[in-house]
Amino acid sequence: MKSTKAELIPKAFDSKSQEESLYKLWEESGYFKPDNVQKYLENSNKEVQKPFVMTLPPPNANGDLHMGHTCGYSFHDAMGRFNRMTGHPTLLIAGKDHAGIQTETVFTKRLRAEGIDKWDLGREEFNKRCYEFCLNAADNARSQEKRIGLSADWDSEFFTLDPRLTDVIYETFFKMLEDGLVYRDKRIINQCPHCRTALADIDTYHKELPGVFVYMVYPFVDEADKELAKKKFGAEGITVATTRPETMLGDTAVAVNPNDERYKEFIGKKVLLPIANREIPVIADDAIDIETGTGALKVTPAHSPIDFEIAQRHNLEIINVINEEGKMSGKVPERFLGMETIDCSKALVKELQELGLFVNLERIKHEVAVCERCDTPIQPIISFQWYVNTKPLAEKALEALNTGATKVIPEGQQKALTYFFENIQPWCISRQLWWGHRIPVWYSGSKELHDWLMDNPGKTTQDFEKEVGKEAHGSGKVFASVEKPNVDPDWDNEKNLEFEAEQDVFDTWFSSGQWPFSTTTSIGGFDKYFPTDVMVHARDILFWWSARMMMLSLYRTGKTPFHTVFLHGIINAPDGTKMSKSRGNTVSPVELFDKYGVDSLRLWYYSDALPGANAPLREEKIKGNRNFVNKIWNASRFVLMNIDDSELDSIRDRLEKAGFDGERVNANKEHVGKVVEYLSKHQYNLGTEQIREFFWHEYCDKWIEEVKAAIKDEQVGSEKRIELLSELVFLLKENLKIMHPFIPYITEAVWQELVKLELADGILMIQQI
């Protein structure tokens, strides 16, 4: 009867109870830090390869991780572990995102629940409290990142508003301003009247809402035109159609297609804008679709992007009639001032009816852009914002793609990115929020003065005083600096001088677009760790994030920030639809960790969440992976159980001598070679399949069975037993190593069982493949 210590090992691998202590073992080993990996390699006379570095996408500091986050981190970690085990001092830099508008919304609600109004609190106090809130809340996300096994250096973790990063981000802005790449410009923006901020297109989504389509007549000014119109159309004017009648008060033209036979003879004529009683021209523009509506478009440059472009082409006046809160304002008849747009719309329709200029009202459903956070329909309004001229930046990025300095996996997305760079639009980087990096700019005099001067080229501060009726306290020039400046060379009245701080903050992508070099710079490792190696994220933020990182890194450092962008698949609900909170079909990764173990979920990601794929969640596959993980546990247990305690010394000696050869060892080498190749080529699905196939059906089903039969009748301690069991242990260890990047927990757990029997040393994470 054999006596073996290994018989005490439990029958099933209980992932949940072991994951925490295994993670602790890794973390406390210090090998999440590249310097320690380097020391280890040097001490064990291994060749030190160049560092392997990844900066990780920072999740929202105050949220839970979703299936997509843990998917990304699974890939990060497999890459990190593989490189760490092949001679590369490896650094994974994690982060937590301040997430601009989302966090401001969340925290404002929290404050309100405590009975605090953010406006009473003031900006400075709000930001202070929100910062604390985020730092505290970040523990939650961080513990989930650790749970997935992420081998990041937590001492290099950054919150995106960290003052060290801010310095770098501001420098970039100053440089761009100097180089003329940032400028202030008047454009149509998406205004959320509820959140009182400009929104990027990505912060909005489209929703089908009931609306109206109102036809109304703008009468001609000249009697002759009226006559002609009456003959042609049966009305003394031109009929236009709109879904937003309230914007008519800001109309400055009616546009028709130059090829539209109906209106040809009216081009250049004038109509009288009803109610506002303003004469506006009929103009011709190619952008007008003859088929839509009446083929005649009322042009409201201040409140519609298309109209704005038309206005630019034709030098039309721009009249703002809706303010930031979505209320009627500006040059509108007094009775409409302060009205909600919808009320104003109704009132106008009524007045038009009375004037006999109302033609028809259709009730329609149409797609409206709404605020992603609060569902409020956005108001396109015109305002001055800060822009980046992305054209020259995109050219450099294109070059990086074309020369192969950066490549995107999957290939199709590389084409999409190329197309994006080729057709890039100016980038609005200012947001009217409190929560974020304040744009480090001061206006001499006031922001109003500066924008007025921009609006009125050729005019002076004296004109401003006269026409606006306010005193000028500076030249209206812009000063870029963090601290308030105290001199303005263009303003001689020093006593009178005042500076107004820019209140807007940067778009979060402007700061996160600098992530690879802002973080490495801030830990003092720019020279050593930049450029980084691989960027991993889901493909939905390719244009927003990686594109920006490429442009800004090339601008600041002259180098592309990473040689590979790896876009993992998107995890969908089991029925194939998108997971979303509003649909209530989300699945929490933590739930799956608990149920099947982290390794099982990781394996599923590697096999299903491939670049270019949408992976519907398949629990039964994760369950299958759990079975594989358990198989590893039991196979290892069986090998150890076959070793009698009295044989341990001989097997240790045999293992130290190394020099195993023969069929199995060769087959195993070939197997390891294949997996290494798959990992190097980012073919994780093939790697997963390979380790599963090989370990289960070769190592377990063949080798263990063969050895089992061969040693059945052997005396304990016989030469044959020692040789065969030693070989089996050797092969087990080799397999644990190559499987570790995929499934770190189970492999390390087994390794530690080997360590207990002194059949292995140290920790598996740092062993070299």
Partner RNA sequence: GGGCGAUUAGCUCAGCUGGUUAGAGCACCUCGUUUACACCGAGGGGGUCAUAGGUUCGAAUCCUAUAUCGCCCACCA
Dihedral of CA atoms 139, 142, 146, 152 in degrees, nearest 10, equals: -130
Bridge pairing between strands 534-538 and 564-568? parallel
Compute the least distance from the CB of residue 281 to RNA, in Å.
16
> Cβ contacts of residue 517 below 8 Å, gap of 6+?
168, 526, 530, 553, 556, 557, 561
Handedness of CA 336, 341, 343, 346 (dihedral sign): positive
**CB-nearer residue toward RNA: 13 or 499:** 13
Beta strands in 317-388 (DSSP E): 358-371, 379-388
Check if the beta carbon of residue 397 is closer than 8 Å to that of residue 421.
yes
CB of 688 to RNA, least distance (A): 9
CB closer to RNA, 366 vs 720: 366
Q: Taking Cα atoms as reference points, which of 594, 634, 590, 622 lies closest to residue 16? A: 594
Instruction: Report the sign of the C-alpha dihedral through residues 514, 516, 522, 524, in that order.
Output: negative
**217: number of CA atoms within 13 Å, CB side?**
19
CA 737 – CA 743 distance, rounded (Å): 10
Min dist. Cβ of residue 303 to RNA (A): 10
HEC assignment per residue over 445-482: CCHHHHHHHHHCCCCCHHHHHHHHCCCCCCCCCEEECC
Quote the tokens at residue 28.
Answer: 């406390």
Q: Give the nearer residue to RNA in terms of CB position, either 128 or 697.
A: 697
Minimum CB–partner distance for residue 713 and RNA (Å): 12
CB 370 within 8 A of CB 204: yes
Task: In angstroms, give the least distance from the CB of 500 to RNA.
Answer: 31
Residues 740, 747 contacting (CB under 8 angstroms): yes
Tokens 């982290």 correspond to 598
Q: What is the 3-state secondary structure (H, E, C) of 22-76?
A: HHHHHHHHCCCCHHHHHHHHHHCCCCCCCCEEEECCCCECCCCCCHHHHHHHHHH
Neighbour-count burial of 75, counting CB atoms closer than 10 A to its CB (0-12 exposed, 13-18 middle, 19+ buried): buried
Minimum distance of RNA from residue 618's CB (angstroms) = 6
- Is 246 in a helix, a strand, or coil? helix
Count of C-beta atoms within a 10 Å radius of residue 289:
11
Distance in Å, CB of 446 to RNA, minimum: 31
Least spacing, CB of residue 735 vs RNA, in Å: 13
Tokens describing residue 176: 């761009």
- Is residue 230 within 8 Å of residue 236, measured between CB atoms? yes
Q: Peptide bond before 281: cis, by omega within 30 degrees of 0?
A: no
535/728 with CB nearer RNA: 728
- How remote is the C-alpha of 742 from its chain's centroid? 25
Which token pair is 63? 């949220």
The secondary structure of residue 377, as a DSSP letter, is: B
Pick the closer one to RNA by CB: 255 or 765.
Answer: 255
Q: Give whichever of 279 and 411 is closer to RNA, judged by the CB atom.
A: 411
For RNA, give the closer residue by CB, 556 or 637. 637
Nearer to RNA, 105 or 304 (CB): 304
Shortest distance, position 456 Cβ to RNA, whole Å: 27
- Only one residue has tokens 């009249």, namely 319
H or E stretch at 732: helix 719-739
Please report how close the Cβ of residue 285 comes to RNA at its closest, in angstroms. 9
Residue placing its CB nearer to RNA in the complex, 172 or 630: 630
In the complex with RNA, which residue's Cβ is closer, 133 or 215? 215
Burial of 22 (0-12, 13-18, 19+ CB in 10 A): buried
Please answer whether residues 111 and 121 qualify as being in contact, where contact means their C-beta atoms are separated by less than 8 angstroms: yes
325 or 705: CB nearest RNA = 705
Residue 61 or residue 288: which is nearer to RNA going by CB?
288
Q: How far is the CB of 428 from RNA (least distance, A)?
A: 11
Q: Shortest gap between Cβ of 706 and RNA (angstroms)?
A: 10
Q: How far is the CB of 376 from RNA (least distance, A)?
A: 15
The residue among 344 and 369 lying less far from RNA, judged by its C-beta, is 369
* Nearest partner of 768 among 20, 58, 48, judged by Cα: 48
716 CB-side CA count, 13 A:
13
Q: How far is the CB of 664 from RNA (least distance, A)?
A: 15
Shortest distance, position 259 Cβ to RNA, whole Å: 13
Q: How far apart are CA 153 and CA 156, in angstroms?
A: 6
C-beta of 104 vs 246, nearer to RNA = 246
- Give the span between the Cα atoms of 321 and 303, in whole angstroms: 8
37 or 352: CB nearest RNA? 352
455-494 CB burial, b ≥16 within 10 A, e <16: eeeeeebeebeeeeeeebbbbbbbbbeeeeeeebeebeee
Nearer to RNA, 50 or 366 (CB): 366
Cβ nearer to RNA, comparing 91 with 214: 214
Q: Which is nearer to RNA, 13 or 506 (CB)?
A: 13
Shortest distance, CB of residue 218 to RNA, whole angstroms? 12
Min. distance of Cβ 300 from RNA in angstroms?
Answer: 9
- For 46, the token pair is 């291994």
Cα-Cα-Cα-Cα dihedral sign, residues 588, 591, 596, 602: positive
User: Smallest distance, Å, CB 600 to RNA?
Assistant: 9
